[in-house]
Chains A and B, each alone.
Chain A
Amino acid sequence: AQKITQTQPGMFVQEKEAVTLDCTYDTSDQSYGLFWYKQPSSGEMIFLIYQGSYDEQNATEGRYSLNFQKARKSANLVISASQLGDSAMYFCAMRERPGNQFYFGTGTSLTVIP
């Protein structure tokens, strides 16, 4: 079974609108971390936001927020006020214990339309 599932291969959003990128995960651990990374066309992986399994509040980092629904095992990324520079691939990842391996989803390609 896939550890991380991203069901949206591609998404389009109008500039200045909000967009939600879906991520579901599979783990039997109680302690785990969820991460979102952005990969622009240049190729580098940029860390965006983190949510811990014990965190009671949804994580926020500037225009990024994470809609964490533990019972449903989902960790959707919400980008508010989209900008042209947000066009990129977005990857959801999970780290579970033991060990420190990161599991990545297949990514969602986001295109922001002017």
Chain B
Amino acid sequence: DSGVTQTPKHLITATGQRVTLRCSPRSGDLSVYWYQQSLDQGLQFLIHYYNGEERAKGNILERFSAQQFPDLHSELNLSSLELGDSALYFCASSVTSGGAVGSRETQYFGPGTRLLVL
């Protein structure tokens, strides 16, 4: 158990709908990262928040948005869902923003939310 929690574990919805995925980082971790894992794209970085502020954006679609709240939990909002959005969505956390030279700080992953869009 990494200490990172994600809800829900599974989500089935229809095209055009909107869903919210929730992540609680490990106690003491200030950074939250979101990743999408699909069969054809592999594991793709979406977005990084540190202590409530957006730090980096990856291959995140405009239909997707995220935020990190004062209690450090984070939510990933996916709207106007398409069949291709079906994937496993991971949240990961780390203590800092991990930018220090030679930092061996790793990211600890949650169990993921498996999204199926029908």
Q: A33-B103, A45-B90, A50-B106 are in contact. Are A100 and B111 (CB under 8 A)?
A: no
Q: Is the CB of B112 within 8 A of A102?
A: no
Interface residues in A4-44 by Cβ distance below 8 A to B read 31, 33, 35, 37, 42-44
Total number of residue pairs linking A and B with CB closer than 8 Å: 71
Judge whether A99 is part of the interface by a CB distance below 8 angstroms.
yes
Contacts of A54 in B (CB 8 A): 101-102
Interface size class of B (residues with CB under 8 A): 20 to 34
Number of A residues, CB within 8 Å of B: 28
Assembled-state Cα–Cα distance A13/B16 (Å): 45
Main SS at interface, chain A: loop
Q: A43-B114, A44-B109, A44-B111 are in contact. Are A98 and B104 (CB under 8 A)?
A: no
Assembled-state Cα–Cα distance A46/B110 (Å): 9
Q: Which residue of B lies closest to A105 (CB)?
A: B42
- How does the 8 Å CB contact mask read for B24-35 relative to A, with 1 for contact and 0 for none? 000000010101
Q: How far is the CB of B72 from chain A (nearest CB, A)?
A: 16
Contacts of A42 in B (CB 8 A): 111
Q: B101 touches which one: A31, A43, A102 (CB < 8 A)?
A: A31
Q: A97 touches which one: B48, B90, B99, B110 (CB < 8 A)?
A: B99
Assembled-state Cα–Cα distance A54/B23 (Å): 33
Interface residues in B38-62 by Cβ distance below 8 A to A read 42-45, 48, 55-56, 58
